[in-house]
Amino acid sequence: MTRPVRLAISGASGRMGSALLSLLGNDARFELVHAVVAPGSAHTGQPVFAGDAGSLRYADGWTQAPALDVVIDFSGPAGLTLALDHCLAHGMALVSGTTGIDAALEARLASAGSSIAILRAANFSLGVAVLTRLLREAAVALPGWDLEIIEAHHGRKQDAPSGTALVLGHAAAAARHTTLEAAAVCSRVGQTGERIEGSIGFAVVRGGDIVGEHTAMLIGQGERLELAHRATDRSIFARGALQAAHWLAGRAPALWQLDDVIATSK
């Protein structure tokens, strides 16, 4: 597009929404035209940018949304449902990092790919997208090598292994023509016996303020290959989502992936 991409953010007052807003002030690729928060939010009606008495204010829905090109959604299942409804009704592209959705909404999103351009990811780090691609290639090139995935996060993280570690595991398993459900070993304790051939092991570290670290270790006889990504700033996820949104604007209807973004330049 020769003009700025007209953008809306769903979940604008959340952690990711706030990170996106902090970047948009200096990003000439975009024009933010709508910012949606949950119904009843204290932000409703307030200026989106502090000290700005202009017309852009937080909204609790889509009824007053102007014409736009892309919606970025980091809200929740309910917010994503409303954003999807709006995108389908107006033929707009949708980028979403919302997780924890049910099977019915998953099915709706899959079906919507025939009508609008959709890009979803659990992790919008472009570096992780490259890591996933490299691991997929390495898993094919080194089919007999053992594979271990090690991840580290801050001590407040609730789930283990991380969603990103599981995405890496799924990618490697598919590249080796199996499934992660069949290959994963998520814990080892006591007399475990020898390593199961073809398994994908996971190790978890929790502590301090680690933003996120993922290492895929492929181990052969007499040599080892390590592919690693370390995040030091949470803004990388917002940067990746913006890159995805800019890339997605004007694309044909389909279920796109972050891997498509890093593979194709505009």
Catalytic residues: 153, 157
In sequence order, what are the beta bridge partners of 184? Answer: 200
Helical H runs in 71-222?
77-90, 103-112, 126-141, 163-175, 180-183
Q: Distance of alpha carbon 161 from its chain centroid, rounded?
A: 16
* Tokens of residue 9, six digits: 């953010």
Neighbours of 146 (CB within 10 A): 18
Sheet holding 254-256, edge to edge: 30-36, 5-10, 70-73, 93-96, 117-120, 254-256
Run of H or E residues at 99: none
DSSP-assigned letter for residue 47: B
Using an 8 Å Cβ cutoff, are 244 and 95 in contact? yes
